[in-house]
Structure 1
Amino acid sequence: MAWQEKLTALQHFFEATERALIAYSGGIDSTLVAKVAHDVLGDHAVAVTAVSPSLLPEELEAAIAQAKTIGIVHEQVETHEMDNPNYVSNPANRCYFCKSELHDTLKPLALERGYPYVIDGVNADDLQDYRPGIQAAKERGARSPLAEVGITKLEVREISKQLGLPWWDKPAQPCLSSRFPYGELITTEKLQRVGRCEVYLRRLGWRSLRVRSQGDTARIELPPEQIRDFVVQVDLDALVKTFQGYGFLYVTLDLEGYRSGKLNQVLDPQTRSNQQYSGSNPAMIKST
């Protein structure tokens, strides 16, 4: 199915839904969902952003600006995943507890206002990785139209570009807690430390990156083809001093390079494959 047909299917999804409350992070996936929902439903679509220490202030500002550009009604709610010891202890299924908090906050809001369910930005590629948060959303009745019609990450970008969205090539920016190896305690201070370091690097012009936190060590991940230029072009002394100013003692560069979901490689194959996801369109929703 070509991306044009999938876009039409996505539009038909919202025509059938009639009203839409969208879990909107400001990432490219949920922003495309918000754009199409608004185009089809107008003010019967609303985008809601969860605000917590896991979301950088800069990302919230971007979400606000994008929603304004789209024209969709945009609201913010606070979530409190940091109050849950099952989340801050950072087990392998940490994402489950994060999304549980999100949807336990959004679902009552949706039902109170007459929305049938919460809609998220999970795409078809997300179903191929270890994402326990998807299960938490499904347990609470959420719908994932991008996944349901089979729209992949590349197609999200292509459709966004065709629709004239200027952020169509925006790098993925998942929850900051994804920067920590499983088992390392997550704190607000650690989240802010990692976030500030990534903002620093982006302001230097490096867009696709991660700063992984391992105790007192920051490990920078960049696309492999950019590593050589990074070492040559960046003032490494200034970078180290900046990172140390944010609280790290040591700064390293991962020579393998950036790879989405890299921290999941420590999980055994059974753990990575035992997540069973389901949706309203089984032909499109596959188990990992």
Structure 2
Amino acid sequence: MSALPHLARLATVIADLPPLAVAVSGGIDSLTLATLAHRVAPTPPMMIHAVSPAVPSAARALIESHAEAEGWNLHLLDAGEQNDPNYRANPYNRCYFCKSNLYGTMRAATDRTLASGTNLDDLSDHRPGLDAARAHDVVHPFVLAGIDKAAIRSIARHLGFTAFADLPAQPCLASRVETGIAINPRDLAFIDRAERSVRERLGRGETIRVRLRRDGVHLELGSALDPAREAEIAGIMMCLCTDENRLFAGMAPYRTGSAFLREATE
């Protein structure tokens, strides 16, 4: 896939938008958008990263190093979602409350047009956060330019972003907690620590999800392991769980959104 047509469309979209404040989460989408916006926007954008227990520690480190290398105007803000009982209750639309807090905090910090890294693929998924984005008049340059996830990866590779071009998707840590189990920083810290421990053994390109469910802690992996490696990883998880008096419930293949339970319907 050639990145040039996508780059040209995206650059045109960005150039036609008012001065931007870009929400940067640490994933490939927002990092690519923020970097290109910084390079082509008529007015240098403001980058905003929400500091939160739900953000993987590696994501913040990547943002800060990339921001320094690119010369961004980076602002770190506490979006305050941990103070919102609706978010902490972890309902089926938890993301709505998370994004409402984020965009509300961004709006309080700037009068610029708010922008997100949402792409075409996101529109076909369950994304309550998009409702919050509409309520706060957030623009989605990738959507306006007709760009999906594959095209974003192509753009990132073309621009030489080797630090994150081929990283697996890394949604917030709260997405690992089964719907209805209250979100708390201790659980999020455990998930982050466990995923980092497993990633140290399997490499940064592996898809890893530590899920907290009612029956215990589950580990999901994007690739099958040989028996010896699987036993090693299971041993690591058992030790981590034992240290925090948690039950390790086993390993399974990665399944998108497997901790999400949809709202019951009649």
TM-score normalised by the chain length of structure 1: 0.84
Of residues 243, 246, 250, the one that matches 1:245 is 243
C-alpha displacement of 1:72:
1.9
8 Å contact from structure 1 (residues 3, 151) kept in 2: no
8 Å contact from structure 1 (residues 243, 251) kept in 2: no
Of residues 195, 198, 206, the one that matches 1:198 is 195
| RMSD over aligned Cα atoms | 2.3
Of residues 256, 260, 265, the one that matches 2:256 is 260
Matches of 1:62 and 1:233, distance apart in 2: 31
C-alpha displacement of 1:42:
7.2
Matches of 1:234 and 1:220, distance apart in 2: 13
Encode CA deviations 1:228-263: one digit per residue, 9 max, x unaligned.
467446253343112322442224102xx1122233
Indicate whether 1:16 and 2:16 are aligned.
Answer: yes
Partner of 2:83: 83
Partner of 2:165: 168
Matches of 1:235 and 1:187, distance apart in 2: 25
Indicate whether 1:184 and 2:181 are aligned.
Answer: yes
Specify the SS of the correspondent of 2:6.
helix
Partner of 2:47: 47
Partner of 2:232: 234
Encode CA deviations 1:172-201: one digit per residue, 9 max, x unaligned.
111111001111111111111111111111
Partner of 2:71: 71
Partner of 2:220: 221
C-alpha displacement of 1:268:
6.3
Encode CA deviations 1:110-138: one digit per residue, 9 max, x unaligned.
21xxx2x1001111101111000011011
Q: Which amino acid aligns with 2:217?
A: A
Partner of 1:136: 132
Specify the SS of the correspondent of 1:191.
helix
C-alpha displacement of 1:5:
2.0
Q: Runs ≥4 in structure 1, deviation > 4 angstroms?
A: 229-233, 268-271
Q: Which amino acid aligns with 1:137?
A: A
Matches of 1:232 and 1:80, distance apart in 2: 38
C-alpha displacement of 1:75:
1.4
8 Å contact from structure 2 (residues 92, 263) kept in 1: no
8 Å contact from structure 2 (residues 213, 259) kept in 1: no
When residues 240 and 140 of structure 1 are mapped into structure 2, their CA distance, relative to the original with a 3 A threshold, is: same
Of residues 118, 122, 125, the one that matches 1:122 is 118
Of stretches 70-79 and 29-38 in structure 1, the one that deviates more from structure 2 is: 70-79
TM-score normalised by the chain length of structure 2: 0.91
8 Å contact from structure 1 (residues 79, 101) kept in 2: yes
When residues 143 and 239 of structure 1 are mapped into structure 2, their CA distance, relative to the original with a 3 A threshold, is: same
Encode CA deviations 1:93-150: one digit per residue, 9 max, x unaligned.
0000000000000012221xxx2x1001111101111000011011100001112212
8 Å contact from structure 1 (residues 86, 94) kept in 2: yes
Matches of 1:215 and 1:234, distance apart in 2: 25
Percent identity reads 30
Matches of 1:193 and 1:149, distance apart in 2: 38
Matches of 2:138 and 2:228, distance apart in 1: 41
- Count of residues paired in the alignment: 263
Q: Which amino acid aligns with 1:217?
A: G
Matches of 1:61 and 1:253, distance apart in 2: 28
